[in-house]
Each structure stands twice: as structure tokens, then as C-alpha cells.
């Protein structure tokens, strides 16, 4: 152990003089007071209370003092450091409060400001109606089937007993993919899905097929080159036209409400025999305009009926084309336009409204997700 340092020169520890310590405290207090934010205060803390600050260095000198001087110097430095610490704490409290106030102000939300709303979008009324119609069949035990929109000409025409020279096959009516010899068309009806269902599924078949179809029509109030149909083939033992009528009546009631009256009017389709158009009694005049020139009806043209779709008993030639035994099995089929159904159901008078994408049109149906 070394003895007391008798050769101590008080000049060397001038840093411990009362003036020097006061000056250090003074400098520290000024620096702390002028720290404008918490970062500046951190620097001031490092400079005036850190390990290498003048007061810390002065503190280290105490050990070199003669024992008699140690206590006083220790007390002086200790008090000085306490004052600096207190100044730091006080300033920190003030700066923290200021910062919190600024944050509160910056993050304040004015709940009265108008909101920037991003519309979430809704599904098109044609889509929801098509699904609703399909749901009616699902509740009767039908499966939903789909097919390609670019379809084999064979399934769209030949297998459906449409003869090669039928006018519907011409390029005036049908979009051919690439060339008329490609054998691929944009399907002109959902009926080819019947063919696919009959080829792919075991009997009995109860299938509903909603989908998009294409024809080379110009867009106007009653035509669009892209539209939608829903198709239903049923093939089972012993099916009759009465089953067809009952099924269509159920669909009509679900779509238009109790009391809607339907009728089957003889017609012709190559893929059904017999064939019929399914008509709805005009729900505006209820038939009252027929033969009453004083009371014309614009909805049905005073016919009393409006055409909804086509139907019939599946032509045995179609069943044979897909290998179904026609001794035992019978089929019925129907197909109707979704656009027409929307027009009747919701009083839409111009088809262009359905394709132009104007939100004012779709909004009127509500956001139906």
C-alpha cells in the first residue's frame, strides 16, 4: 500500500476549486436550459453528466487529494452533480411534455372531415340474378355445370341436331375462332353444356348451366353481342312435358312471385321435339290489353304474353348422338336469357344499361355481395 501523497500540489487540482465547479455547473445548467428537444438534451447530458464530462473528471481527481481535502471536495462535486442531475430531470420532464403535446396535435383526427371512401364494388345484377336462378334449381336437386366459352362447333351445333346449312351457323350469326374451318366457335347458346353433361355424367341427369354466350349482334336496346343464358337438361326414365312445365312454373314463381302465369307455345328447335316457347303472362296488363285498342300495353305490345325462353323434350337424335339409350330415357330441356329476365323482373328497358358499366345503374340494385 502506498502512503499518503505528501507531495501533493494543490495547483494541479484547480479543477476542484469552488469557482471551477461552479463554472462547470453553470455551463451545464445553461446547456441544459437551451436544449430545445430530447435529442439536444441527450447531448447535453453526455457532455455535462457523462463519464467524460468535466464534473466526472473532477470527481476522479478527488482520490488524489490529501485526506483532509477529500471530504470537502467530495461534497462540492457531489452537490454539483446533483444540481446538474436535477436540471437534467426537470428539463427532461418539460421536453417530454412538449413532445407528447406535439404528438397529440400531429396525430389528432378531425372526425368531422369528409372521408376519402374507396368504393368496395359490388357484383353486377346479371351475375346475382344468374346465381339466384341457378339456386332455384339447386334447391330442386340439380347440379350446376359449366362449359367453355370457346366451344367445339360440334357441341354447339352438330350434336344438337343443327344441320350444316342452318343459317345460325353462318358468320353473320356466329363468331368463329380463327376461321370458319377451325371447328371452334364462341358458343352461341348454353345448349352445348347439355351435350357435355350428357357425355360426362351418369344417368339420371339434372343439370343447370348458367353462362355467357356470343352472337354477332350489334348492341342496341334489345340486343347485345355478349349475353347470358341459363340452360337445363334433365334426362331420366319417364320424364314428360308435364315435368318440364312444372319445373318452369316453379322457376317463374321464384323469379316473379306467386300468381305469375306461364304458357307453352308450340315452336321449333332442332334439339327438341316437341319444342315450345315459354311465355309469361304480361305482368303489366295481365292480358287486359288484348283486343282493347283503347288500352294498349307497351310491355307486351298488347299481345298479353311475353316470350321468356325456349324448351322442349330433348330430341332423341340428340340423346343418340351422346350414346343415351332412348328406349328407356327421356329428356326435357329449356334455355332462357338472363338479360330478358332482368328486364322483366326489374323493369329495365334498355339492354345497353346492363353492359355500359355505369355505377348509377348497378347501384340501384344495391351492393349485393
Judged by CB under 6 A, which stretch of 2-10, 31-39, 132-140, 332-340 contacts ligand DAH?
A: 332-340
Judged by CB under 6 A, which stretch of 17-25, 195-203, 327-335, 344-352 contacts ligand DAH?
A: 327-335
With CB under 6 A as the contact rule, the residue among 59, 272, 289, 362 that binds ligand DAH is 272
**Whether 191 contacts 156, CB under 8 Å:** yes
Buried b (16+ CB within 10 A) or exposed e, 100-115: eeeeeeeeeeeeeeee
With CB under 6 A as the contact rule, the residue among 136, 312, 321, 324 that binds ligand DAH is 312
Least distance from ligand DAH to the Cβ atom of residue 335, Å: 3
With CB under 6 A as the contact rule, the residue among 285, 321, 333, 342 that binds ligand DAH is 333
In the complex with ligand DAH, the residue whose CB is nearer, 256 or 271, is 271
Instruction: Determine the Cα–Cα distance for residues 137 and 210; give it in Å rounded to an integer.
Output: 11
Exposed, middle or buried by CB within 10 Å (0-12, 13-18, 19+), for 323? Answer: exposed
User: Cα 91 vs. chain centroid, distance in angstroms?
Assistant: 53
Long-range contacts of residues 98-103, Cβ cutoff 8 Å, at least 24 apart? 98/37, 99/37, 99/38
189 forms part of the interface with ligand DAH (CB under 6 A): yes
Query: Contacts with ligand DAH in 224-253 (CB under 6 A)?
Result: 231
191 forms part of the interface with ligand DAH (CB under 6 A): yes
With CB under 6 A as the contact rule, the residue among 21, 145, 197, 311 that binds ligand DAH is 311
Which three cell numbers, joined as nine digits, stand for 139?
Answer: 334447391
In the complex with ligand DAH, the residue whose CB is nearer, 125 or 310, is 310
With CB under 6 A as the contact rule, the residue among 192, 304, 310, 331 that binds ligand DAH is 310
With CB under 6 A as the contact rule, the residue among 214, 269, 305, 344 that binds ligand DAH is 269
Judged by CB under 6 A, which stretch of 48-56, 73-81, 201-209, 308-316 contacts ligand DAH?
A: 308-316
- Cβ count within 10 A of residue 325: 10
Q: CA quadruple 197, 199, 141, 281: dihedral positive or negative? A: positive
Least distance from ligand DAH to the Cβ atom of residue 248, Å: 11
Instruction: Determine the Cα–Cα distance for residues 125 and 56; give it in Å rounded to an integer.
Output: 79
With CB under 6 A as the contact rule, the residue among 335, 341, 348, 353 that binds ligand DAH is 335
First to last CA, the chain: 90
Total number of residues binding ligand DAH (CB under 6 A)? 11
Nearest Cα residue to 277 out of 310, 325, 230: 310
Sites of contact with ligand DAH (CB under 6 A):
189, 191, 231, 269, 272, 310-312, 333-335
Amino acid at each position: 500500500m502506498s502512503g499518503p501523497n505528501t507531495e501533493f500540489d494543490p495547483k494541479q487540482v484547480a479543477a476542484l476549486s469552488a469557482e471551477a465547479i461552479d463554472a462547470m455547473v453553470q455551463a451545464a445548467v445553461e446547456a441544459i436550459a437551451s436544449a430545445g428537444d430530447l435529442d439536444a438534451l441527450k447531448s447535453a447530458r453526455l457532455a455535462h453528466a457523462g463519464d467524460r464530462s468535466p464534473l466526472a473528471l473532477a470527481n476522479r481527481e478527488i482520490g488524489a487529494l490529501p485526506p483532509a481535502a477529500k471530504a470537502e471536495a467530495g461534497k462540492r462535486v457531489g452537490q454539483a452533480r446533483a444540481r446538474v442531475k436535477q436540471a437534467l430531470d426537470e428539463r427532461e420532464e418539460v421536453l417530454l411534455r412538449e413532445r407528447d403535446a406535439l404528438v397529440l396535435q400531429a396525430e389528432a383526427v378531425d372526425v368531422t372531415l369528409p372521408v376519402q371512401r374507396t368504393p368496395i364494388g359490388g357484383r353486377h345484377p346479371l351475375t346475382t340474378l344468374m346465381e339466384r336462378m341457378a339456386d332455384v334449381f339447386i334447391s330442386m336437386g340439380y347440379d350446376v355445370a359449366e362449359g367453355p366459352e370457346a366451344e367445339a362447333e360440334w357441341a354447339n351445333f352438330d350434336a344438337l341436331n343443327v344441320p350444316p346449312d342452318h343459317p345460325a351457323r353462318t358468320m353473320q350469326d356466329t363468331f368463329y375462332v380463327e376461321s370458319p374451318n377451325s371447328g371452334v366457335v364462341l358458343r352461341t347458346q348454353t345448349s352445348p353444356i347439355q351435350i357435355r353433361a350428357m357425355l360426362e355424367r351418369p344417368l339420371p341427369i339434372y343439370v343447370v348451366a348458367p353462362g355467357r354466350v356470343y352472337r354477332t349482334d350489334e348492341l342496341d336496346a334489345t340486343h347485345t353481342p355478349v349475353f347470358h343464358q341459363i340452360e337445363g337438361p334433365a334426362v331420366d326414365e319417364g320424364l314428360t312435358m308435364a315435368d318440364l312445365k312444372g319445373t318452369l312454373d316453379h322457376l317463374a314463381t321464384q323469379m316473379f312471385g306467386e300468381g305469375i302465369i306461364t304458357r307453352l307455345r308450340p315452336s321449333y328447335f332442332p334439339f327438341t321435339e316437341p319444342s315450345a316457347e315459354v311465355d309469361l303472362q304480361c305482368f303489366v296488363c295481365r292480358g287486359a290489353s288484348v283486343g282493347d285498342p283503347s288500352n294498349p300495353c307497351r310491355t307486351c305490345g298488347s299481345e298479353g304474353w311475353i316470350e321468356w325462353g325456349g324448351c322442349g323434350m330433348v330430341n332423341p337424335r340428340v340423346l343418340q348422338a351422346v350414346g343415351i339409350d332412348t328406349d328407356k330415357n327421356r329428356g326435357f330441356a329449356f334455355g332462357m336469357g338472363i338479360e330478358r329476365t332482368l328486364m322483366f323482373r326489374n323493369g329495365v328497358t334498355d339492354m345497353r344499361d346492363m353492359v355500359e358499366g355505369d355505377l348509377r345503374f348497378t347501384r340501384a340494385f344495391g351492393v349485393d355481395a
